[in-house]
Structure 1
Amino acid sequence: MHVIYGGTFDPIHNGHLRLAIELKERLGVDEISLVPCHMPPHREDPGATSGQRLRLLAMAVEGEPGLVVDDRELQREGASYTADTLRQLRAQLGDREPLVMVVGTDAFAGFDRWREWEQIPQLAHVVVVRRPGPLPDPRGAPAKLLRERRVGGAEALHEAPYGYFLELDPPLLDISATGIRERIRSGRSPRYLMPDPVWREICRLGLYGACPDGNF
């Protein structure tokens, strides 16, 4: 089973990494692929370039064999649409390999506004992770899709190539990329919210308002 966990990772932090490990264990897979978004279609431009975010992500997962980086969205021009990524992966994996994408409840609340959203269950399973923020409207299309296709456990995802929805409520670290960016801009340290090599590189590059070559 191939599992992708996408996001802007602006910047990558320990909350992202801990969730990826939780997903690996709960879904019973050897690897989780972290897929950084090139140009997010549903939010403001990231605070770092796609190349910078990719470098930080690669530094964050170095030495962790269960987490790998997939840069395919950075290889495409224009906005990064999930359906395009899943279609590309499906062509590589074939028709029988289970493919899983991970989405938070906050993003899933607007699932029916994604481009080609109705095609996504024909390409992959969807794991919906409970996160702070808005929940899907019980009367809306995302909630209806979840009710119709929900399964009770990860075992079902291994038994079919696509089409199922699984809800997970893992323990989450209370860390946000937005909060980290604000902390850095205000001159406060984000140390221990992210891997030390990532913070050192942010300082070196002067990202998010960090003082270049400042004290680590």
Structure 2
Amino acid sequence: MKLTAPLGIFGGTFDPVHNGHIQPIIDAAKITQIDKVAMMPCYIPSHKDKATVSSEHRLNMIKLVCQQQPLFYPEPRDINRGKPTYSVDSLQSLRADYPNTPLCFFIGTDSLITLTSWYQWQKILTLCHFVVCNRSQGGANPTQLPTNIKEVLSQTQTQNPKDLHQKLAGHIYLANTNAVDISSTELRNRLKNQVKYPQKVNDFMPELVLAYIRQHKLYQLEADIC
């Protein structure tokens, strides 16, 4: 079976999407020579509180990012599914559509630490590779990871990103990426209460996304949240 070029996958709530999401993925995609990444917003995330704004708004913000960054394209299948999202379901759907394509699931070190608590995590490793990015300054040191994660890495980790191109699934690659130390929660707090949090948000999200948030009065106390 001849494999096609790998497809990157980056899922999340994206409530809102920001540079802390975008920049580490750009870095990791360059390191791994992955030319296309699907940005896949959750409909109802299975591991977090319900999103603050509607799926439509979150998908629209993703589309704005994709307009500016040719690496990304919007992947709405989780939203279109309209039910609670598990990574294994999304990856099985993608695998059915891309049977000869290595799937590379981008996650942060925070997610790697909890990997063995994911629903059907062993099956996930038969469907995709993991590319692990730093999501905050001083990301997790591999030597300081929990013992169970070290055991998983001992069986799956590769030091060579080319391996992600030569097999459909099963590897974990730790990418040395530049972290942007911001979270969606912090940005929502700044947008809701600019008196209490006077720090600028402009440096932490694309201009088009911030303009969209302001246009639709999202994350503000007076907003009519749908």
Q: What do residues 134-189 of structure 1 show as CA deviations (whole Å, max 9, x unaligned)?
A: 7885322x331122111002101111111111111211122221111111111244
Extract unaligned runs of 5+ from structure 1. none
1:144 has 2:151 as partner? yes
- Alpha-carbon separation, structure 2, partners of 1:27 and 1:79: 31
The answer to whether the 8 A contact 2:135-2:180 is kept is: no
Residues 159 and 134 of structure 1, relative CA distance in 2, 3 Å threshold:
closer
Extract unaligned runs of 5+ from structure 2. 1-5
- Alpha-carbon separation, structure 1, partners of 2:192 and 2:89: 34
1:19-168 aligned at under 5 Å gives the runs: 19-94=24-99, 96-132=100-136, 137-140=145-148, 142-168=149-175
- Tell me the residue number matched to 2:209: 198
- Alpha-carbon separation, structure 2, partners of 1:15 and 1:113: 24
Q: What do residues 44-85 of structure 1 show as CA deviations (whole Å, max 9, x unaligned)?
A: 111111111001111122132221111111011321110011
Structure with the larger RCO, 1 or 2 (CA within 8 Å, 6+ apart): 2
- Alpha-carbon separation, structure 2, partners of 1:192 and 1:53: 19
Question: Is the partner of 2:88 in helix, strand or coil?
Answer: helix
Aligned length: 210
1:6 has 2:11 as partner? yes
The answer to whether the 8 A contact 2:135-2:181 is kept is: no
Residues 131 and 17 of structure 1, relative CA distance in 2, 3 Å threshold:
closer
The answer to whether the 8 A contact 1:185-1:210 is kept is: yes
Matched residue type, 1:205: H
The answer to whether the 8 A contact 1:203-1:210 is kept is: no
The CA RMSD over aligned residues, in Å, is 1.9
- TM-score, normalized by length of structure 2? 0.86
Runs of 4+ deviating beyond 4 Å? 133-137
- TM-score, normalized by length of structure 1? 0.90
- Alpha-carbon separation, structure 2, partners of 1:130 and 1:192: 19
- Alpha-carbon separation, structure 1, partners of 2:62 and 2:212: 11
- Alpha-carbon separation, structure 2, partners of 1:137 and 1:18: 23
Matched residue type, 2:112: F
Q: What do residues 6-59 of structure 1 show as CA deviations (whole Å, max 9, x unaligned)?
A: 111110112222122212211112211111111111111111111110011111
